[in-house]
Amino acid sequence: MAHPTLRTRRDTGVLRVTFDNPPVNALSANVMKELRDLLIPLRDDDSLRVIVFDSANPEYFIAHVDMHLGEQMDLLGELAAQAPEGVNVFQAVGELLRTQPQVTIVKLAGTARGGGAEFAAAADMTFAARETARIGQIEVLMGIVPSGGATQYLLERVGRNRALELILRGDAVDADTAAAYGWINRAVPAAELDGFVDDLARDIAALPAGVAAAAKRVLAPPTPVAGYGREEAEWAELIGRPVTARLMGESLRRGAQTPEGERDLEGLLRQIGREG
Question: Tens of pLDDT along 121-142?
Answer: 999 999 999 999 999 999 999 9
Non-local CB neighbours of 76 within 8 Å, separated by 6+ positions: 29, 69, 89
How would you classify the pairing of strands 186-188 and 173-174?
unpaired
pLDDT confidence of 244, banded at 50, 70, 90?
Answer: very high
How would you classify the pairing of strands 173-174 and 60-62?
unpaired
How far is it, in rounded angstroms, from Cα 217 to Cα 155? 21
For residue 37, pLDDT over 80 is answered with yes
- What the chain holds in terms of domains, given with CATH numbers, is 6-205 (3.90.226.10)
Region 210-230: what's the mean pLDDT? Answer: 96
The enclosing H or E element of 53 equals: strand 50-55
Region 16-28: what's the mean pLDDT? Answer: 97
Considering the chain, what percentage of its residues have pLDDT values greater than 90? 97
Q: Do residues 91 and 147 lie in contact, with contact meaning Cβ atoms separated by under 8 Å?
A: yes
Average pLDDT over the chain, rounded to an integer: 96
pLDDT confidence of 1, banded at 50, 70, 90?
Answer: low
pLDDT in tens, 164-207: 999 999 999 999 999 999 999 999 999 999 999 999 999 999 99
How far is it, in rounded angstroms, from Cα 154 to Cα 135? 12
Q: Which amino acid is at 84?
A: P
Region 256-267: what's the mean pLDDT? Answer: 97
pLDDT in tens, 64-83: 999 998 889 999 999 999 99
For residue 276, pLDDT over 90 is answered with no
